[in-house]
Amino acid sequence: MKLGRLLAMSRKEFIQVWRDPRSLLIALLMPVMQMVLLGYGVSFDIKNLTVYAYDQEGSQNSQALLKRFQASPYFRVVKTVNSYRDLTWAIDADRCELGIVIPFDFSKRLRDARSAPVQVIVDGTDDNTANLAKGYARAVIARFSGDVQRDWLMNQGLPVGADSGPVAVEPRTWFNEELESRNFIIPGTVALVMALVGALLTSLTIAREWERGTMEQLISTPITPAEVMLGKLVPYFTIGMTDAALCLVMSVWWFEVPFRGTLVSFFVTSALFLVVILGIGFMISAAIRNQLGASMIALLVTLLPTSLLSGYAFPIDQMPKAIRVVTYLLYSRYYVTILKAIFLKGAGVAELGGPMAALAVYAVVIGAFATRAFRKTLD
Amino acid sequence: MLERIFHMLVKEFLEIRRDKWERFRLLVPPLIQIILFGYAATFEVYRVSTAVLDLDHSQESRELVSRFVGNRRFDLVRIPSDREELRRLVDRSRVTVAIRIDPQFGQLLRKGRTAPVQVIVDGTNSNTALIALDYVGQIASRFAEDYRRDYMNRILPAYQVLMPSAVMEERPWYNPDFNSQWFFVPGLVGSLTLMTIVNLTSFAIVREREIGTLEQIMVTPIRPIEFILGKTVPAFLIGLLEVAMVAITGSVWFRVPFRGSLLVMLLGTCLFLLSTLAVGLLISTMCRTQQQAFASGFFFLTPAFILSGFAFPIASMPTVMRWITYLDPLRYYLVVLRGVFLKGTGLAVLWPQMVAMAVLGTVLLAISIMRFEKSLD
């Protein structure tokens, strides 16, 4: 391997990238767009769920319960309806996420010291939101019920017990203290951006030479396949690392996601991940001489596993066993785990030794294969 | 005019038949994606890895611990011996939830005071953490309720039935088991079709331009509008096929119910395809090479996807973003899809979505046809 030839190859690629401002713009705008969309658009901590109430009783008790819903930060009672039909229509038409029905005999049952049911209708279409809403509604009703019971006990002259009930859960959240969805999504987005940009750019490098007919010229030079690979990938590696840095800056300064780890571990693991992505892109590019086909496959092989099977948004431990096993074979799983741990937990080599080693092995293997992927033959 | 369009259509279908990448792109990625998404995309929370440290060892604390053991939401993986180990388990991500019951737990309960339960939750995945905390709360409050009832029984047997309470009667509609697949599969019909059709349309035209055959076509007597029709009609038909393919796979493989009318879905699909074709056409007017088209497509598809409500609820987005979602045709189509799949709603409820898609599609199509005619000069 000669440094001179390698540098010349890199220089040519750099010039090509530079002269194609659109690609360069994509490489730099893509991270910004992804970060802004995902940073602002993804939020699981729902607040202000719209509630329609059907208060059949209209008593002091039923109004008191509805007031509790109104006072909770999770609910907004926007309308009172007077029939089931109106309520059904509202839920069908997505006017509200929750319908509360307080029956005619609500106060009477409470007065008789019996249990009084409150119907809570949830639109289950969005199962995650529905599940959270259900939990919040149950908490509101339970607190109301507790207070009714205390009043009743007091009126009967019985021992009331502690203010906050017999058991109090004292929750402590670690690593993401405010349970911000942003802190959960943004670190993984770095991997998403690098997979996307890396795949889009490299998958075309060899295919382009074939399509434009410059491959023959390249083959006639004394350059070796390994030099072609390294020379071609150096510019994209530079762009990829720039993107990683850009993402880091945006996460920390713009979105104020805590960064508790070290810069060294961030950049070293990002470099390893980038080597894997670029290597895969290069191999695909060498195997498929059609630009469009190459970029389609590259996206399927890099972006899909990184967005879906890495634990980026969907927790791996909830997937069926067969898919859980597959994720262990995927490089993105390790990088996303590392990113989240570096950002939020401040983890270092001691905690992340396993995933870091896995990523390194992946990088070496892919790198080795990529060197052999390109042959200087014309067929 | 009809004959010219017909010839154009024959040419287009011949090209698709001959191009193995084209066929690959139309069939394989959507199928892989629906299967993977169906299995992997879930926000449900089951078997959360949990550690419990019981420092009290009373009857009451053991009872509380047993409720976690018996619950399918929690998976008791470790029983640490001291606080330090409990902390380390969370620190090393061995468990997501760590519960600590302090020595006084049983005693406080018996005295009628409030007994605290310490819960540490790993907040890295904020959604899982939020839901897991809610389940911990439910178990604790059910335990408290039962304890109180037992207590009343013991001291005042006469009152055992009499005790007012307000209880929640849950009525989850449309998706009674809160199954994530029922939420994601109808959404996939729209998202995957959007991706395929936008790419297909933009490539179909840009390729002609890139390899220089566009000029050849333009010297024939064919008029621009006929050319556009010749390009979009095949894409439209392929779009219908893809919707059918993904929808059938989804409802047969994943057993997602289909409760509405096929006609309403067909109408919604046609209106949706109108906007997607228009966007594809628009991208083609701005690009010279297929690679540019591919990349530009991404700049439309990513926001369209994220802002549609496909995975992330629109209601919790910031106001400005919520406004932008009104420009996203996928947003409306997803409401229609979820309506016909899960809710069985008809036009009486879905007409605003239909109108919105029709307006959006017409405006977009008008703009892109104008731009396309200009781009030919």
CA distance A4 to chain B (A): 31
Mark yes or no for CB contact A308/B168 under 8 Å.
Answer: no
Give one word for A353, left, alpha or beta, with left for phi > 0 and alpha for psi -120 to 50: alpha
Mark yes or no for CB contact A152/B164 under 8 Å.
Answer: yes
Residue B336: name the closest of B254, B247, B252 by CA.
Answer: B247
B350 to chain A: closest CA residue: A93
CA distance A150 to chain B (A): 10
Give the residue-averaged pLDDT of B288-314: 86
pLDDT class for A378, splitting at 50, 70, 90?
Answer: low
- Number of alpha helices (DSSP H) and beta strands (DSSP E) in chain A: 15, 5
Give the residue-averaged pLDDT of A289-311: 81
Mark yes or no for CB contact B119/A314 under 8 Å.
Answer: no
How far apart are the C-alpha atoms of B196 and B351, rounded to whole Å? Answer: 26
Contact, A313 vs A185, CB < 8 A? yes
Mark yes or no for CB contact B168/A94 under 8 Å.
Answer: no
B342 to chain A: closest CA residue: A125
Model pLDDT for residues A64-96, shown as the tens digit of each residue: 999 999 999 899 999 999 998 999 889 888 888
pLDDT class for B10, splitting at 50, 70, 90?
Answer: confident
Mark yes or no for CB contact B171/A119 under 8 Å.
Answer: yes
Q: Please report the residues numbered 338 through 377 in chain A whose beta carbons come closer than 8 angstroms to any beta carbon of chain B.
A: 340-341, 344-345, 351
- Probe site for chain B from A149, A154, A167 (most B CB atoms < 10 A): A167
End-to-end CA distance of chain A: 24
Maximum average pLDDT range among A32-36, B221-225, B287-291, B314-318: A32-36
Contact residues on chain B for A311, CB-CB shorter than 8 A: 125
Q: Please report the residues numbered 167 through 196 in chain A whose beta carbons come closer than 8 angstroms to any beta carbon of chain B.
A: 167-177, 179-181, 183-184, 196
Q: Please report the residues numbered 118 through 137 in chain B whose beta carbons come closer than 8 angstroms to any beta carbon of chain A.
A: 118-131, 133-137
Mark yes or no for CB contact B349/A93 under 8 Å.
Answer: yes
A137 to chain B: closest CA residue: B168
Give the residue-averaged pLDDT of B91-97: 88
Give the residue-averaged pLDDT of B70-93: 89
How many CB contacts within 8 angstroms connect chain A with chain B? 335
How far apart are the C-alpha atoms of B331 and B273, rounded to whole Å? Answer: 13
Model pLDDT for residues A180-224, shown as the tens digit of each residue: 888 999 999 999 999 988 887 787 777 777 777 777 888 888 888
**pLDDT of amino acid B236:** 92
pLDDT class for A118, splitting at 50, 70, 90?
Answer: very high
Residue A174: name the closest of B54, B119, B43 by CA.
Answer: B119
How far apart are the C-alpha atoms of A221 and A25, rounded to whole Å? Answer: 31
Average pLDDT over chain B, rounded to an integer:
87
Q: Is the pLDDT of residue B229 over 90?
A: no
Contact, A233 vs A278, CB < 8 A? yes
Quick one: tokens of A17?
């990238």
How far apart are the C-alpha atoms of A123 and A116, rounded to whole Å? Answer: 23
A131 touches chain B (CB under 8 A): yes
Contact residues on chain B for A26, CB-CB shorter than 8 A: 295, 298-299
Helix-helix angle B180-210:B224-253, to 10 degrees: 150
Quick one: tokens of A283?
């191999």
Residues in CB range of B357: below 8 A, 6 or more apart:
B268, B271, B272, B274, B275, B329, B332, B333
Model pLDDT for residues B258-296, shown as the tens digit of each residue: 999 999 999 999 999 999 999 999 998 888 877 778 888
Q: Is the pLDDT of residue B202 over 90?
A: no
**pLDDT of amino acid A379:** 58
Comparing CB atoms, the residue among B93, B148, B164 nearest residue A166 is B148
- Probe site for chain A from B101, B178, B180, B206 (most A CB atoms < 10 A): B178
Mark yes or no for CB contact A183/B122 under 8 Å.
Answer: no
Q: Is the pLDDT of residue A297 over 90?
A: no
Kindly tell me the sign of the dihedral angle through the C-alpha atoms of B346, B349, B352, B357: negative
Domains and CATH numbers, chain B: 2-42+179-376 (no CATH), 48-159 (3.40.1710.10)
Considering chain A, tell me which residue range(s) the CATH 3.40.1710.10 domain(s) occupy: 49-155
A97 touches chain B (CB under 8 A): yes
Q: HSE on the CB side for A355, CA within 13 Å?
A: 29
**pLDDT of amino acid A162:** 64
Mark yes or no for CB contact B43/A115 under 8 Å.
Answer: no
Contact residues on chain A for B43, CB-CB shorter than 8 A: 44, 127-128, 314
**pLDDT of amino acid A150:** 84
Model pLDDT for residues B138-191, shown as the tens digit of each residue: 899 889 888 887 877 777 776 655 677 888 888 888 888 888 889 999 999 999
Helix (H) / strand (E) element for B171: namely: strand B165-173
CA distance B292 to chain A (A): 8
Model pLDDT for residues A222-267, shown as the tens digit of each residue: 888 888 888 888 888 999 999 999 999 999 999 999 999 999 999 9
B257 touches chain A (CB under 8 A): no
Predicted-complex ipTM score: 0.85
Domain with residues A49-155, CATH architecture:
3-Layer(aba) Sandwich (3.40)
